[in-house]
Chains A and B, each alone.
Chain A
Amino acid sequence: MTWYAALGAVEQGLVYGIMVIGVYLTFRILDFPDLTVDGSLPLGAAVSAVAISSGVNPYLSLLLALGGGFCAGMVTAFLNTKFKILHLLASILTMIALYSINIRIMDGPNVALLGSDTVFDAVTRLGVPSHFAGLVVFGLFAALVVGGMVWFMGTEIGQAVLATGDNPQMITSQGVNIHVVIIFGVGLSNGLVALSGALIAQNQGAADVGMGLGTIVAGLASVIIGETVFGCQTMARAFIAALLGSIVYRLAIALALGLELGGFRFNPSDLNLITALLVIVALITPNLKRRLLAR
């Protein structure tokens, strides 16, 4: 793997890491498997791209994207809590609806950001070389999100979110309306996913309706790799592990795609196979380790 490819993988790991933090919140903390993310990532990208091309400040466009994702997550959680639709099904419904909505927002399958000012231009103007701008911006946002989430989970409300996923009967008996918590939590998660999508769009210079494909798979893979490699004993550690898991995942993918065995090479279309294998390895490693140690 070249130095340049590794840099790109770390960059991707950081920006998708924001999405992974969102997935961690639903999948692990709230115990709410949420497929909305495949729709809310391009939603964030679409909202941000359209906002920027109509003259909105790029930072403000990130906030708009976050709000859009939050609403999408709220719809899923609302369907689940108020109408008792199974969480997986509710999230699939929102996800497919978002496909059409995203095309409506962009008035087409994609929007280019050629020549528009993005959050990266502000950094390059400070003298950062342009091939490092992504790293700096993504790193800052990822650190901000991780720090924010660690702080939030330590608050009274954050603790109620934790308890809702852990023991809904207990936290109900403590006077918390778990429907409100789930709607808020799934909203927050999708807000982060949309933020991640918006940053990707500004970096690539385009938003595309198909860019969300496989988001949930990458998210889950990163969460599981992070837990296996870095552990999740405390809340801070768990979130940092999720972010690092995302970086490891992107590095592993880049490594696999760069691999050459005799005449054999992986194609980009083998990505799903590689992801599945990575997750399987991450899932069985702790088990294998235990068995070997027990001997």
Chain B
Amino acid sequence: MIRLEHIVKYFHKGSVNEVFALNDITLRLAEGDFVTVIGSNGAGKSTLLNCIAGSFFPDSGKIFIGAGDVTRWPEYRRAALISRVFQNPLLGTCPSATIEQNMALAALRGQKRGLGRGVKGSDRERFRTELRQLGLGLEDRLLDKVGLLSGGQRQALTMLMATMVKPEVLLLDEHIAALDPKTAGHILSLTEEIVASRGLTTMMITHNMKHAISFGNRLLMLHQGRVLLDLCGSDKKTLTVKDLLEQFYLAQGEELAMDSLLLG
């Protein structure tokens, strides 16, 4: 469960570059919700996810994850509750560490680290079993450095690592945008499989309206730091890309000049 109450965030407040990034966002995600988030560039999608993850603190408002108030928790502390996959496939893994070392780092997410061996012999079998689900042959390359892998392989590994310790919420920030279409499709179906099999509460930013409609049980459209649309259940099931655009124009009351950005 995750709850945002009246979140407000400015960047460069008081300067000429002032950006009103999040404008009074109130939101409640139930356990197991899979929310897709869309909106034009600068709508506040990434800002919202970063705010939940604790990359910065909101100017006002409160954030609850699980049972507690985490508003003033720094990012590393919230990591015990949150898993993230970034748009940049290089951000989720350590290039100079091996595959098994990366997985061992993720297997301790949010836990105390001590002077025990980083990778234990007993871990390896478990890592291999998990890697086998990816179908990329990585299970035979435990000792390869991650820097040797392609962007798609690294993103697949990051997806797997994100769920080694079950998070309260999984944040996916356009995690397939930097991949070629075939790899993107593979990562997306992997995402669906992992989210469904573990019943993860998930927020996924996408620029692809078709994906936004076909994935998840709920859809958020952001515009200028506000939630413009919040559809779930049957409303979302019957939605088409055309509806979505119309809804957008309607709520906006203006013609949007940047359709191409939204349609991706």
A contact set with B: CB distance below 8 Å: 152, 154-160, 162-163, 166-167, 169-178
Query: How far does the Cβ of B171 sit from chain A's closest Cβ, in whole Å?
Result: 10
Q: Which of A156, A158, A162, A174 contacts B79 (CB 8 A)?
A: A174
Q: Is B45 an interface residue (CB 8 A)?
A: no
Interface Cβ pair total, 8 Å cutoff: 87
Report how far A166 CA is from B92 CA in the complex, Å: 11
Q: Mark B88-114, 1 if CB is under 8 A from A, else 0.
A: 001111111100010011101111011
Which applies to chain B's interface (DSSP): helix, strand, loop or mixed?
Answer: loop
Report how far A163 CA is from B92 CA in the complex, Å: 11
Q: Which of A166, A176, A178 contacts B113 (CB 8 A)?
A: A176
Q: Which of B76, B84, B111 contacts A177 (CB 8 A)?
A: B76
> With A156-B113, A157-B113, A170-B91 in contact, do A175 and B77 touch (Cβ < 8 Å)?
yes
Count contacts on B: residues with CB < 8 A to the other chain.
34
A-B contact pairs, 5 of them (CB 8 A): A155-B115, A159-B119, A166-B97, A173-B109, A175-B80
> With A156-B113, A157-B114, A159-B118 in contact, do A169 and B91 touch (Cβ < 8 Å)?
yes
Please give, as numbers and ranges, the residues of chain B lying within 8 Å of A178 by CB-CB distance.
Answer: 76
Q: Which of A156, A157, A170, A175 contacts B94 (CB 8 A)?
A: A170
Please give, as numbers and ranges, the residues of chain A lying within 8 Å of B115 by CB-CB distance.
Answer: 152, 155-157
Output the nearest chain A residue to B96 by Cβ-Cβ distance. Answer: A166
Given contacts A173-B75, A175-B76, 20 further A-B contacts (CB under 8 A): A155-B116, A156-B104, A157-B113, A158-B118, A159-B97, A160-B113, A162-B94, A162-B96, A166-B94, A166-B95, A166-B96, A167-B94, A170-B91, A172-B75, A172-B76, A173-B82, A174-B105, A175-B108, A175-B109, A178-B76
Q: Is B74 an interface residue (CB 8 A)?
A: yes
Report how far A158 CA is from B104 CA in the complex, Å: 12
Most A CB within 10 A of own CB, among B74, B75, B76, B79: B76
Report how far A176 CA is from B109 CA in the complex, Å: 8
Report how far A174 CA is from B101 CA in the complex, Å: 13
Report how far A47 CA is from B23 CA in the complex, Å: 57
Q: Is B182 an interface residue (CB 8 A)?
A: no
Q: Please state if B104 and A159 are interface contacts (CB–CB under 8 Å).
A: yes
Q: Please state if A174 and B108 are interface contacts (CB–CB under 8 Å).
A: yes
Report how far A162 CA is from B146 CA in the complex, Å: 13
Q: Which B residues between 27 and 85 are near A, CB-CB below 8 angstroms?
A: 53, 74-77, 79-80, 82-84
Q: Is B242 an interface residue (CB 8 A)?
A: no
Q: Which of B90, B94, B118 contacts A154 (CB 8 A)?
A: B118
> With A154-B117, A173-B84 in contact, do A160 and B95 touch (Cβ < 8 Å)?
no
